[in-house]
Structure 1
Amino acid sequence: MGLGQALSQLGDNEAALVHYREALDRYPEAVATRYELVLLLESMGHLEEAWVQCEVLLETKPRYADALAALGNLHGREGRLEQSARRFEQLVRLQPGEPRGHAGLGPALAARGQLDRAEEHLGEALRLAPGDPAARGAFERVRRILRQREALSDREEVR
């Protein structure tokens, strides 16, 4: 465990932030350090700065799954559904066996009203990571909405 992680775990996020920034000033190519900074910034609610750091990571490592997933999540938290979906789609294309891509893409698609595709990706996330409670919850919500939609459609046909 590095000093930044230790400081953060001790609850001294400000000191951890200073440490990560100083480390990156000396070693800007330190991928793991930059990613730890992203996680810390996100936990502190500094979403825009976390987003910028993810973009810096992806400039040097465009296939970095952790950064793609983090950026997709950050965009989703900020309500940028198109950008969120794009990052998760990129992750799914680059690493189709990565459950986080499918698990993140599902809710982004559902929010855009693409429930069938959302169900497909969430189902794939559960196939790849059966114990993922977030993917399970999102999958069940999408299935519930689809069942409600089908029930409404059936009622309209009866009329």
Structure 2
Amino acid sequence: MAGADAGRKRAAPPPWLRSGLRPQPTPIPWAAVARASVALSAPLAVGFAVDRPAYGALVSMGALSGVIGDTADAYRMRVLNIAVPQLFGALGMMLGILVFDTGWAAVGVLTVIALVSGMMSTIGAVASVSGLLLLLNSVVGSGLPMPDPWWLAPCC
């Protein structure tokens, strides 16, 4: 029995690893929570109010991209952190719309986009978010019918 206890003790992770994996309490950024809740829900509410929920959903997707990229940096960096990923998200939406309902061609294009997105993610933080939005929006654009004309969804 003593041998089994010794085996269990050796199998336990070291204390330095356990302390690094233990959740740490952090303060909730209530201002960012309020901004995100308004930025995501207001376009949807307006879209439903004017009987155009697809437009509201597209604007909310854009707002989500902005919320993801927003940081506590200086305004010059915040613009960069939000605008560059938004442009790649719009590009992804446009590419997805162009291959909507094309079958295997869409699979091939999305595979190439996924490869490019993965390579972009290795560059840095802004490029990582840009690659994520490029892939995410291209998948959404290729899988859901978007309102006409084709350029409207990327603009939203």
Structure 1 length as normaliser, TM-score?
A: 0.25
Q: Larger relative CO (CA 8 A, sep 6+): 1 or 2? A: 2
The structure with the greater share of residues assigned to helix is 1
Structure 2 length as normaliser, TM-score?
A: 0.25
Q: Which of the two has higher C-alpha Rg? A: 2
